[in-house]
Chain A
Amino acid sequence: MLKNRIIPCLDVKNGRVVKGINFVDLMDAGDPVEQAKIYSDGGADEICFLDITASNENRNTIYDVVEKTSKKCFVPLTVGGGVRSIDDIYKLLNCGADKVSINTAAVQNSEVVLESSKKFGSQCIVVAIDAKKNSDKWEIFTHGGRNNTGINAIEFAKKMEDSGAGELLVTSMDRDGTQAGYDIDLMSEISSKVNIPVIASGGVGNLDHLADGIKLGNASAVLAASIFHYGKHSVKEAKEYLDSKGIPVRI
């Protein structure tokens, strides 16, 4: 039986790990390579690096981080943040990333998703959708949550599936950094509308939230940062908890 994946996410800036509240108020908290190794030794099913300020700054540091990590961690490694072109994707994969997640560039030009999935295979193309509720619908935000595009998130998700995305990483901008739990309605709505796996992200504050993301949100995988990063819970604890709730996980 296929297991639900637990994915710790490390937000990286200038080669160092940070995690903020609603994308601001950054706090430095460690070396990404060591952190990733701790997670993979602890049973993480994948590791995700998000280069959070990459859209605006020099991002060469991330290549070095990816290269070092991929020589130490033998679980899938996803890297996102500032991925804009086929060339960016090529460089990240070449450094040892297994998947890349594309956010702003996918919204601006879906051809990037179409072209890259053809060139590298759908298995390594994740489209990251940052969505925020606006009255009765969810809309897509880009540039690390700063720009509202007005694009309907559900329709965009379907379009990305058609363009060849292998997975969707769905983040609720209303919940990200709040520790109030995933936006379950958003997750289940998107999951029911596409046939590719959905990774739930944004808002995890406790282990019940992870269970809800899978059971109620129908996510194939759950991503979280702070609850693992600040030592509130280990990946192992998370898995044992989910297992006790009857959710299939790799232990």
Chain B
Amino acid sequence: MNVTIVDYNSGNISSVINSFQEVAKDKVNIEVTSDLHKIKSSDKIVLPGQGSFKSCVDALNSIDGLVDILNDFVISEKKPLFGICVGLQMFADIGYEETETKGLGWISGKVSKIDNQNGKFKLPHIGWNEINIIKDSKIFKNIKNNSHMYFVHSYEFVPEDKSVISATTDYSSNIVCSVEKENIFGTQFHPEKSDKTGLNLIQNFLNL
């Protein structure tokens, strides 16, 4: 099996690479590339994302043909894709970080700033928080409800169709922290930095 981590200059992806390689060992081939042919022919895609919504969307668009390839992979071929942090946020129709920016539109909804309740909650939301698993998802196999995951973000994905939400976390309100829509998976938290539980989740994605 070939799993591609899309390298589109979205910031620091070395931790994502290290964690997937740790889990994959020699059983799964992990490719890190922006090569469109390799991405197209892979079995699964990981879409990381750091920095702002706008900078990640701009970075995706700056590679000619990449968005078309991703759309084909996800929408037409229905192969599994896993988005992490801003990688997940870009599933939305629109994001409001920096300026209003169009997302990939795979899951209807918007990405807006977390309501910090007039300074009561510090932003970014940084650290370990519990996840409330609200939907059976293959990526949560062997992961207990209320497990801790590592978060670092100031914006949240608000999907229109609540049935795509597979987990939430409590920070000022119930923040969507995991979504699943058919072959599309994403987490707001960083499984690559969430110790053994995070590696377990990565294993689950590789096992799909």
Contact = CB atoms under 8 A, between A and B. Distances in A.
Interface of A: 1-5, 40, 45, 70-71, 74-77, 93-98, 119-124, 166-167, 195-197, 220-221, 250
B124 A94 contact: no
Contact of A124 (B50, B127, B130, B171): B50
Given A93-B14, A98-B15, A124-B50, A74 B127 contact: no
Given A5-B128, A121-B52, A123-B153, A74 B195 contact: yes
A2 B128 contact: yes
B11 interface: yes
A197 B198 CA distance: 23
B81 to A, nearest CB: 22
A4 B192 CA distance: 20
Interface stretch (B30-38, B39-47, B105-113, B115-123): B115-123
Interface residues of B, number: 37
A27 to B, nearest CB: 30
Interface of B: 11-12, 14-15, 18-19, 22, 50-52, 55, 116, 119, 122-130, 148, 150-154, 170-171, 192-196, 198-199
Contacts of B19: 74
The interface residues of chain B, by DSSP majority, are classed as mixed
A241 B59 CA distance: 46
Nearest to B202: A74
Given A5-B127, A45-B127, A124-B50, 17 more contacts: A1-B130, A2-B128, A2-B129, A2-B151, A5-B128, A74-B15, A74-B194, A75-B150, A75-B194, A119-B51, A120-B12, A120-B51, A121-B50, A122-B124, A122-B154, A123-B50, A197-B124
Given A2-B129, A124-B50, A195-B119, A75 B170 contact: no
Given A1-B170, A123-B152, A124-B12, A74 B193 contact: yes
A144 B115 CA distance: 37
Nearest to A167: B126
B50 A120 contact: yes
A123 B195 CA distance: 18
28 contacts: A1-B130, A2-B127, A2-B128, A2-B129, A40-B195, A45-B128, A70-B15, A70-B18, A74-B19, A74-B196, A75-B193, A94-B12, A94-B14, A96-B14, A96-B18, A98-B12, A98-B15, A119-B51, A120-B51, A121-B11, A121-B52, A122-B154, A123-B50, A123-B126, A167-B126, A195-B123, A250-B128, A250-B148
10 A-B pairs closest in CB distance: A121-B51, A93-B12, A123-B152, A250-B128, A96-B14, A250-B148, A3-B128, A2-B129, A121-B50, A76-B193
B39 to A, nearest CB: 22
B129 to A, nearest CB: 5
B127 A3 contact: yes
Contacts of B126: 123, 166-167, 197, 220
For A97, A123, A195, which residue has the most chain B Cβ atoms within 10 angstroms? Answer: A123
Nearest to A96: B14
A241 B190 CA distance: 27
A197 B11 contact: no
Given A3-B148, A98-B193, A220 B15 contact: no
A71 B14 CA distance: 9
A199 to B, nearest CB: 10
A45 B127 CA distance: 8
Contact of A76 (B52, B150, B153, B154): B150
Contacts of B192: 74
B14 A74 contact: no
B14 A120 contact: no
A75 B195 contact: yes
A74 B150 CA distance: 10
A124 B119 CA distance: 21
A77 B154 CA distance: 20
Contacts of B125: 2
